Amino acid sequence: MDIFGRLTIDSLPFYSAIAASGAGITVLGALSVMAVITYLGAWRLVLFDWVSSIDHKKIGIMYIMVALIMLMRGFIDAAMMRSQQAIAYNNEGYLPPGHFDQVFSSHGTIMIFFMAMPFLSGLINLIMPQQIGSRDVAFPFMNAISLWLTTAGASLVLISLVIGKFSTAGWTAYPPYSGSEFTPGVGVDYWLWAVLISGIGSTMTGINFLVTIIKCRAPGMTMLRLPLFTWTVFVTSILMVFAFPSLTVAGGMLVLDRTLDMHFFTNGMGGNMMNYINLFWLWGHPEVYILILPAFGVFSEVVAVFSQKRLFGYISLVLATMAIGFLSFTVWLHHFFTMGSSARVNSFFGTMTTIIAVPTGVKVFDWLFTIYRGRIIFKPPMLFTLGFLVTFTIGGLSGVLLALPPVDYLMHNTTFLIAHFHNVIIPGVLFGYIAGYMFWFPKAFGFKLNEKWGTWSFWCWIIGFYLAFMPLYLLGFLGMPRRMEHYEIAAWQPHLIVAAIGAFIIFLGIVCMAVQLIVSIRDRQSALDLTGDPWNGRSLEWATSSPAAPYNFAVLPQVQSVDAWWDMKARGVAYQRPQQYEDITLPKNTFVAAVIGGAGFVFGFAMIWYIWWLAILCLAVIFVSIVVRASDDDSDFVMTAAEVKAIEDERFAQLAKAPKNEMADDPGFAGEPVPEAST
């Protein structure tokens, strides 16, 4: 047995300049991060305050860091594709087909699994427990495992740039192409293990959030007083728990086919290739709602706060969210209308797909009615929200078109489809998360982001988006298939050049976000959030300090109404100093979760390269770690009432120096919260 499995020196990417540069950048990136930490003398901080932390707020921030790093990697993939397609009319361009195939495969895989999923997990982790008046999620240790498993998956995708190659089978890895007969190398295996390992993390995250929302709410916080963001998290979590098993089954079977020579999806020997597609999309459709529902939740929060008006149609928004969640399990065949089903099957799923557009439409109207007659404050989160409302609607409409099987027969796998899903994902999912990032940044770090750069970032993103993707609708009508490495039709090129320009403008938008962050850190003393409530917010996360104390609330709030924090301000009971404090039990930091994540990463690597002894060793490490943790009855520590008082006293001292309302100086300020005349 070879100690290195199928890993050899040839696995290093010296066969191509582009591959070598990709590897070089990855390695350099990792080394620079370590160099910076060393330079700042921050290893103690990084390891003992962050890597070993199981505090939901820190885990949330780390998730978002993973998401932003992977956003850059996924964007580089996009830029490579746009530039290749802009020049490759009647010539090969600069990206050979094998490489181009890896690029589009990693672009989709990264953006969905390692940008969007961590981004939403991060925002939810940071904010949801505070919104429901809780001290943490229900299972802080499992929360950390989820983070580190996601990081393990992302690391597998990153290391595929350095050792071996990535998959060329697209982000969906359809067999038989993704089987061992047609793609025997390590690429698909990298994809499989990255997805399966992070998928376990996502299932655990869903369980964690569900139990938290159902069981850990503050007194008086009934389900119908939950903020809309938490409602969308609730439904998202249900989707995560019930949809990810399907991906685990589909991916697991493909692993068995590739590694143990089984015949789930082989072309012959009794394999059934369509079963993969069925199982994959059983997960895949709920997945896109997992991505968008939290973004819808962010928009609900932002639109109310920056219209300075109560969210319109609370019950309809809740019902619409639940309807979307349930219906998302009834439409999955629309991803493979063209693959041979009868008219009866196609029309059932087509009908369900058109129906699922309705609750989303209800939400859009509810947001519009919230804005109507509000006093709008055009800060960046609101800009992204307004951009979303217009742009996402177009994407939704193209989706309703595609929902009709006869139309889909024409448009399936053309760039029309690419345009459609980017038209819902970018203004929907990504704008939502960027808005959430800018909205909740002060809560995480205690100072606000620079608004000028945020505004420029928005304009680059939205202009860049239209330039990059509207041409793709036209190209779809002109017959251009997706994933084309080069082409011979002259009429396509001008559109692709415009699209490349759009991609460049989006790049500027990303640069603006990076500059925004740097400038904000530099100028943070002049943009401090002293009260914890920088936007005159409505929900309970704004009741805590910025950043929040480890325990979030020294005294759990007594909730009496929806928009609980606004209600407390209106009744004059906000910022009340408690008579006395109590001891608070908090979980201790621990490295075990990171160890499990690290072992998960090495396990995935070992399985990919057939290094069986290492895989078994990693399983043993994981098993032992779990047993050790499961035998630990002393995993909490007590923060005494005196310590809590010290932290709270400091906060009240800061409050004394702060303006009563941080929005009072804003020209658009509509006034202090007052008690509602009627409910």
Partner 1 sequence: MDVSSGIPIERTIKPYLIGIVLALILTAISFGLVAFEALPRETALIVIAALAVVQILVHLRFFLHIDFKSTPRENLIALAFACVLIFLMVGGSLWIMFDLYHRMMV
Partner 2 sequence: MSATIMTVTPRDAEKYEEKEFGFWLYLMSDAIIFALLFATYLVMVGNAAGGPTGKELFSLERAAAETALLLLSSTTFGVAAVALSQGDRPKVLLWLAITFLLGAGFIFLEIGEFRGMIDQGAGPDRSGFLSSFFTLVGTHGLHVSVGLSWIAVMFGQVVFKGLTAPVASRLMRLGLFWHFLDIIWVVIFSVVYLPGLL
The residue ranges that bind partner 2 (CB under 8 A) are 138-139, 203, 206-208, 210-211, 214-216, 241-242, 244-246, 248-249, 252-253, 256-257, 260-264, 266, 268-272, 275, 279, 282, 585, 623, 627, 630-631, 633
435 strand-pairing partners: none
Closest distance between partner 1 and the C-beta of residue 135, in Å? Answer: 19
CB closer to partner 2 out of 509 and 587: 587
CB closer to partner 1 out of 243 and 424: 243
Closest distance between partner 1 and the C-beta of residue 332, in Å? Answer: 8
Instruction: In whole angstroms, give the CA distance from residue 392 to residue 364.
Output: 10
Q: Which residues contact 57 (CB under 8 A, 6 or more apart)?
A: 125, 126, 444, 547, 548
CB closer to partner 1 out of 209 and 439: 209
Binding of partner 1 at residue 456 (CB under 8 A)?
no
Which contiguous run of DSSP H or E holds residue 349? helix 343-371
Stretch that binds partner 1, among 116-124, 325-333, 495-503, 637-645 (CB under 8 A): 325-333
Binding of partner 1 at residue 44 (CB under 8 A)?
no
Closest distance between partner 1 and the C-beta of residue 599, in Å? Answer: 29
**What's the per-residue H, E or C state across 52-72?**
CCCCHHHHHHHHHHHHHHHHH
Q: Read out DSSP for 394-437?
A: HHHHHHHHHTSHHHHHHHTTBHHHHHHHHHHIIIIIIHHHHHHH
Q: Which of 316, 330, 354, 560 touches partner 1 by CB under 8 A?
A: 330
Q: Which two tokens stand for residue 664?
A: 């009072």
CB closer to partner 1 out of 214 and 397: 214
CB closer to partner 1 out of 341 and 561: 341
Q: Which of 110, 240, 279, 530 touches partner 1 by CB under 8 A?
A: 279
CB closer to partner 1 out of 340 and 667: 340
CB closer to partner 2 out of 211 and 478: 211
Closest distance between partner 1 and the C-beta of residue 426, in Å? Answer: 30
Q: How many residues bind partner 1 (CB under 8 A)?
A: 22
Instruction: In whole angstroms, give the CA distance from residue 100 to residue 80.
Output: 8
633 binds, among partner 1, partner 2, none (CB under 5 to 8 A by kind): partner 2
Q: Which of 252, 203, 204, 54 is nearest to 140 (CA)?
A: 54
Closest distance between partner 1 and the C-beta of residue 344, in Å? Answer: 8
Instruction: In whole angstroms, give the CA distance from residue 496 to residue 501.
Output: 9
CB closer to partner 2 out of 244 and 466: 244
Q: Which of 45, 345, 368, 397 touches partner 1 by CB under 8 A?
A: 345
Binding of partner 1 at residue 242 (CB under 8 A)?
yes
Q: Which of 29, 23, 78 is nearest to 509 (CA)?
A: 78
What angle (nearest 5°) sits at the alpha carbon of residue 247, between those of residues 244 and 250?
150
395 binds, among partner 1, partner 2, none (CB under 5 to 8 A by kind): none
Q: Which of 274, 407, 570, 619 touches partner 1 by CB under 8 A?
A: 274
Q: How far is CA 557 from CA 114, 575, 579, in A?
A: 35, 11, 14
CB closer to partner 1 out of 207 and 497: 207
Q: Which two tokens stand for residue 209?
A: 């959030």
Binding of partner 1 at residue 188 (CB under 8 A)?
no
Which contiguous run of DSSP H or E holds residue 505? helix 493-522
Closest distance between partner 1 and the C-beta of residue 334, in Å? Answer: 12
Binding of partner 1 at residue 635 (CB under 8 A)?
no
Q: Which of 443, 425, 438 is nearest to 512 (CA)?
A: 438
Closest distance between partner 1 and the C-beta of residue 478, in Å? Answer: 30
Q: Answer positive or negative: Cα dihedral of 54, 57, 62, 67.
A: positive
Q: What is the DSSP letter of 638?
A: E
Q: What is the DSSP letter of 552?
A: B
Q: Which of 109, 131, 246, 625 touches partner 1 by CB under 8 A?
A: 246
Q: Half-sphere exposure (CA, 13 Å, Cβ side) for 440?
A: 34
CB closer to partner 1 out of 338 and 493: 338
Helix, strand, or coil here: 550?
coil
319 binds, among partner 1, partner 2, none (CB under 5 to 8 A by kind): none
CB neighbourhood size of 111 (10 A): 25
447 strand-pairing partners: 528
CB closer to partner 2 out of 211 and 401: 211
Closest distance between partner 1 and the C-beta of residue 369, in Å? Answer: 31
Binding of partner 1 at residue 678 (CB under 8 A)?
no
Q: Which of 39, 41, 269, 344 touches partner 1 by CB under 8 A?
A: 344
244 binds, among partner 1, partner 2, none (CB under 5 to 8 A by kind): partner 2
Q: Which of 197, 298, 333, 562 touches partner 1 by CB under 8 A?
A: 333
Instruction: In whole angstroms, give the CA distance from residue 588 to residue 604.
Output: 29
Q: Which of 11, 16, 83, 341 touches partner 1 by CB under 8 A?
A: 341
Phi, psi of 584 (to 5 degrees): -125, 130
CB closer to partner 1 out of 97 and 406: 406
Stretch that binds partner 1, among 173-181, 340-348, 596-604, 645-653 (CB under 8 A): 340-348
Closest distance between partner 2 and the C-beta of residue 211, in Å? Answer: 5
Beta pairing, strands 636-639 & 584-587: antiparallel
In terms of phi and psi (left: phi > 0; alpha: psi -120 to 50; beta: otherwise), the region of 446 is: left
Helix, strand, or coil here: 642?
helix
- Gyration radius of the chain's alpha carbons: 25
Q: Which residues contact 554 (CB under 8 A, 6 or more apart)?
A: 578, 581, 584, 644, 647, 648
341 binds, among partner 1, partner 2, none (CB under 5 to 8 A by kind): partner 1
Q: Which two tokens stand for residue 491?
A: 């009429």
Which residues of the shown chain bind partner 1 in the complex (CB under 8 A)? 214-215, 238, 242, 246, 272-275, 278-279, 282, 329-330, 332-333, 339-342, 344-345
